[in-house]
Structure 1
Amino acid sequence: EKKNEVLRILRWPDCAYYEILDVEEDANEADIKKAYRMKSMLTHTDRNKDVQAKEVFQRVNRAYEILGNKEKRKEYN
C-alpha cells in the first residue's frame, strides 16, 4: 500500500494539490486535514523506506500547506 501511494502521487505534477491529497475541489477543511494525515502516515520516511518517499512526503506537505490555508487555497483555485 505504501509503495502504491508513492507511485500514485509521483504520477501527478508537483502542483496538483487536490490529486496529491486525493480530495475533491469542494472538500471541506476537515476532509483535507484527514486526507493529509492519512497521506502523511503512508509517505513519512520514518514509516516508508521507499527511496522516493522523502520527495512524496514533501509534496504532501506542500499540498496541505496550500489547501489547508483558506487564503492560499483561494489563490490556488
Structure 2
Amino acid sequence: MSAAQVEKQIQDEIRQEPGLAEAKVEVSADDKFVTLTGSVSTERQHQLAVRIATSNARHREIVDKIIVREHA
C-alpha cells in the first residue's frame, strides 16, 4: 500500500469515528512514517486517533504531534 493510500485510509477512519467527530487531526505519511498533527479535546480522543493510525500504518512508525486541549 502506498503512502498516499495509507494516509487516506487513516484520515478516512478518523473522520468516520464518532468519538473523534470534533477532533482536528491531520495525517501525513511517507515510506517510513505516519505523522499525526492537530488537536483533540481529551486524552481518550488522542489515544483513539493514535490507535487508528497504528492499526493502519503497516510498517511505518507513528510520529504523534497531537495536542490535547482538555478543559478543566
TM-score by length of 2: 0.40
TM-score by length of 1: 0.38
Whose helix proportion is higher, 1 or 2?
1
Whose strand proportion is higher, 1 or 2?
2
